[in-house]
Amino acid sequence: MRLVKKNLKIKFVIYILIVTFLSAFIGAESEGAATVASSNDVTILAKMIHGEARGEPYIGQVAVGAVIMNRVKHKNFPNTIYGVCFQPGAFDAVRDGQYYQNPSPTAIRAARDAINGYDPTGGALYYWNPATATSRWIWSRKIITQIGKHVFGI
C-alpha cells in the first residue's frame, strides 16, 4: 500500500512539473505576438482609431492602432495603451476632442486586430497625413509605407 501511495505522489509531482513546463513554454511562444488587453484598453484604442482614422480603409484603421501598439512595446514610449494615447501632444484626436466620440464597430474591430498583433505598417512608430501635417520634425521620420491618406514611419 505504501508503494502505491509513493508511486501516486511521484506521478502527481511529474504531472505538475509537466503542466508547469508546458504552461511556461506556451506562454513564451505567444509573447510579443499578442498583448493581453482589458476591455478598457480595447475601448481606448478604438476611440483613438475612430478619432484619428475615421474614413480611412479598414487596413488604415488597423495601421493607426498598430502604431499605438508598437509604441506601447517600445522603450521610448509609455508602456500602456492609455499612456501612449494620452502622452501630451501625441495625438490630434485627444487635443481636438474627437477621441471622446463613440467608436464605430469598425474601429472596435480594428483595435482588437491591432492588439492581437496585426501590423500592416511593418513596425511604424509614427503616422501622419502629408496633406495636413505642419510639423517639420515629423518629416524627418523615415517613411515605411502609405496606407490610405496616412504615411507611416520610424
Using alpha carbons, select from 128, 95, 102, 121 the residue that is nearest to residue 46. Answer: 102
pLDDT of 144 strictly over 90: yes
pLDDT tens, position by position, 2-40: 655 566 566 655 655 454 444 444 333 334 445 567 889
Contact 49, 104 (CB under 8 A): no
Contact 128, 149 (CB under 8 A): no
C-alpha distances in Å from residue 96, one per residue of 39, 52, 83, 93, 100? 24, 10, 18, 5, 9
Contact 61, 95 (CB under 8 A): no
What per-residue confidence (pLDDT) applies to 137? 93
Whether the full predicted model's pTM is greater than 0.85, yes or no, is: no
Contact 152, 146 (CB under 8 A): yes
- Average of per-residue pLDDT across 58-70: 99
pLDDT of 150 strictly over 60: yes
What per-residue confidence (pLDDT) applies to 36? 65
Q: Three cell numbers at 72?
A: 506601447
pLDDT tens, position by position, 92-132: 999 999 999 999 999 999 999 999 999 999 999 999 999 99
